[in-house]
Amino acid sequence: MEIDDWRFLEAAEGWIELGQFAEAVEELELVSPAVREHPKSLEVCWRIYWHHGRWGECWNIARAILTQVPGDAMGVILLAEATNRLQGPQEAFEVLFRATVTVKDSATIWYNLACYSALLGNFSEARCNLGMAIELADAHSPERGRFYRRLAEEDLDLKPLGEIGWPLRYAETRLEGCPAAFGGGRDGR
């Protein structure tokens, strides 16, 4: 990818962050045709379509990313988000759960599994998924672990966990009571 293409993509992302989607599209139109199918370009397009509620296009773009980069964690997350809008949280959960077989050690996938579990009313499963996300994030770096703990405190999808007595402010990585598939019982926990 040429440096100008990277600059156009970065500019498009900047416009998206500012909520200026028309300007983001203008920047994307400057990207060379050969780069428009690059996963990074597709991700920027996905965000624009997402803003406009075009879930089918989002789903197709996420599939295109995964065709190019099978097992890409971001591609899986984008596919799950589009699937949630098109088919509901159970199907989105399934997309993410299937990905845990091939996308190893993605805290973001486990965090999203926690959110969908909570939305589906599976609070014990949500706690285990969140515990796994935080454990994986902590293994990456203490800063990343703190980021996920703060995110969990503020996430409306996870609010029911706090309401049933699991204080998100102290989200721990202990996985006692979680099935082995969630890491329960590993390392004496």
Q: Provide the pLDDT for residue 187.
A: 36
Q: Which of 84, 137, 145, 147 is CA-nearest to residue 109?
A: 137
Domain enclosing residue 5, as ranges: 1-38
Q: Provide the pLDDT for residue 110.
A: 96
Burial of 25 (0-12, 13-18, 19+ CB in 10 A): middle
pLDDT above 90 for 73: yes
Q: What is the DSSP letter of 186?
A: G
Would you say residue 125 lies in a domain? yes
Mean pLDDT, the chain, whole residue set: 88
Q: Which residue has the higher pLDDT, 78 or 153?
A: 78
The total of structural domains in the chain comes to 2
Q: What mean pLDDT is predicted for residues 118-132?
A: 92
What's CA 187's distance to the chain center, in Å? 27
Would you say residue 46 lies in a domain? no
pTM of structure: 0.85
Pair (112, 187) in one structural domain:
yes
Would you say residue 138 lies in a domain? yes
Would you say residue 79 lies in a domain? no
C-beta of residue 96 within 8 angstroms of C-beta of residue 116: yes
